[in-house]
Amino acid sequence: MSPEPTDLRGVIVATALPYKENPSAPAGLEVDYDKFAEHCDWLISNGCRGVGPNGSLGEYSSLTDAERRKVIQVAVETVGDRGVVVAGVHGPGWHQAKHWAELAAEDGAHGLLSLPPTMYRANDSQVIEHYAKLSEVGLPIMIYNNPIDTKVDLRPDLVAEIAKLPNISAIKEFSGDVRRLFEIKELCDIDVVAGADDVLFELMADGAVGWFAGFPNVFPAESVEIYEHMLAGRFLEARELYKHLVAVFRWDSRVEFVQAIKLSMDLVGRYGGPCRPPRGPLIADHHAQVTADTERAVAALEKYRAVAA
């Protein structure tokens, strides 16, 4: 598949980042680039459109500058011409985000994912300036609305203003308010991408054309199947599969989503592993609930496959 240069649609996986123990590495954990490359390859081989390294799930804020750049380089080299690499370029100011965007462009990324300014409750004009500076890099941009973490809400009217800038391709909608899709589309022409796994069905029923996703790190083939059913309007088929996964998908919208997804990966035979600070291990109750939700999903999928066969 040769990706369209401005198309950030499809199932693009916010890739989890594996570590291996090394006492001399930050927090005693060294990025395992070999495992990361294997994981990116597995996701593409299971039908995902692309990978999204250096997102929140990729623990970008816990990486050194050298690590953050190499993660993109490994993803680009691994994916090749089989899909897209959408690099997370989140930063407190536009000068930092633009720096990461320029490096991502130099290293061959196909697009950018960017929050508004982090660690600062920016006003509308500052948010627009942030994206205007990023647009100068020339890669297609998926803006990212996560008012829970950033305290900045990309309201539909603000999205419409940002969409006037060059190279603004899509919005990753993580507010949880599925009603916003229609309002955004009434105000501007921008692709709306599901940003939270547990509202995928509702957002795609309303017309979302992409999914920037967390739990496809665990269930890539099944996730692609749901997405393709929804895109084709086969809602009953999609719902039958989705209902087996939505309980575990809900962890994508919780504070502990990185640890939860990594644990779920471990439970299905992938490598998730530990997280760097500030993320610590799950508390016992959460560990038990993620385990139960994952095991229930796996068992339900086995029955689903058996009936389908």
Cβ neighbours around 170 below 10 Å, total: 27
What pLDDT is recorded for position 306?
Answer: 92
In sign, the C-alpha dihedral spanning 231, 236, 238, 239 is positive
C-beta separation of 48 from 13 below 8 A:
yes
Which residues are catalytically annotated?
144, 172
- 172 φ, ψ (degrees, to nearest 5): -85, 110
- Please report, for residues 44, 134, 166, 224, 235, the alpha-carbon distance to residue 140 in angstroms, rounded to integers and kept in the order given: 21, 10, 9, 23, 30
Q: Which residues pair with 213 in a beta bridge?
A: 13
4-13 tens-digit pLDDT: 546 999 999 9
Three-class secondary structure of residue 47 per DSSP: coil
d(CA 240, CA 226): 9
List of the chain residues with pLDDT < 50 = 1-3, 5
Give the helix ranges, DSSP H, for the chain.
Answer: 33-45, 65-79, 94-106, 124-135, 147-150, 156-162, 180-187, 200-205, 220-231, 235-242, 246-249, 257-267, 284-308
Q: How is 191-207 classified by DSSP, letter by letter?
A: EEEE-SGGGHHHHHHTT
What pLDDT is recorded for position 6?
Answer: 64
What pLDDT is recorded for position 2?
Answer: 40
What pLDDT is recorded for position 149?
Answer: 86
pTM for this entry: 0.96
Identify the DSSP state of 131: H
Domains of the chain (ranges plus CATH)? Answer: 10-233 (3.20.20.70)
What pLDDT is recorded for position 295?
Answer: 98
d(CA 29, CA 42): 23
